[in-house]
Structure 1
């Protein structure tokens, strides 16, 4: 081997050695960041169990109270609304407003009775159904 080849070999080995060393340092830094991320993703199950869901009962007397009801829905609370104390026109406006609110947060609105509705955010699942056979003769039902 010539001196030229020895020098070239010497420098190429040096470059590879430095490259391997840098790669090991990068591997160590990524493994330590992975460990930090895994620690951050740990959730204490006891803390999750102590956050009870809330259901709000509301009996508005005017359309102006629809904003308070919508705020509860946006804050991820289920709301049962009794519209017996509101005239039919305002009740329809309230239901329309709350339908838009529920749609915006991917929730659901269900009719429970002639004047009663259930608005739920996306974190609440409702199962079952209520039949409308007894409600069909009600005047309020005909307006919807």
Structure 2
């Protein structure tokens, strides 16, 4: 006997009982059972946003566009009122938000003269709002 086997015999008790099971005794998994187990899979994306939110924003400068975009990226619909921003900055904000919505496969819609709705892809909007364009409304000329 080698030293290795002596040490092994000293530390390990070799009184093991082995039980042999024939293949016939094992329960068989039928293909029907495995299909049932796969049907219990739940998509986590459907559970992430159980209650949707709508955020109302009234930016005063272009710097607030990033905060609005963060809300859209968080899968929230955002209504943007641009009445308190000068026309040049309002155009820049809408351009920025249009890029954000496009990147997220969302949608942007005009609700009124200076009001827009930005939605991510998980929110569907149905219907349209028609507006009558007048010569007095300078904001509509740029859009």
For the criterion TM > 0.5, the same-fold answer is yes
> How far did residue 63 of structure 1 move?
0.6
Aligned residue for 2:39, secondary structure, equals: helix
Two-structure CA RMSD over aligned residues (Å): 3.0
- 1:82 to 2:81 alignment: yes
Map 1:20-99; keep pairs closer than 5 Å: 28=29, 34=35, 36-41=37-42, 51-99=50-98
Structure 2, unmatched stretches of 5+, are 1-22
Contact 1:77–1:121 (8 Å) recurs in 2 = yes
TM-score by length of 2: 0.69
CA displacement 1:2-37 (0-9 Å, x = unmatched): xxxxxxxxxxxxxxxxxxx7xxx9x73977765543
Q: Is there any run of 5+ residues in structure 1 with no aligned partner, and where?
A: 1-20
Runs of 4+ in 1 over 4 A off after TM superposition: 29-36
Give the distance between the partners of 2:67 and 2:119, measured in 1 at CA. Answer: 14
Aligned residues: 117
TM-score, normalised by the number of residues in structure 1: 0.68
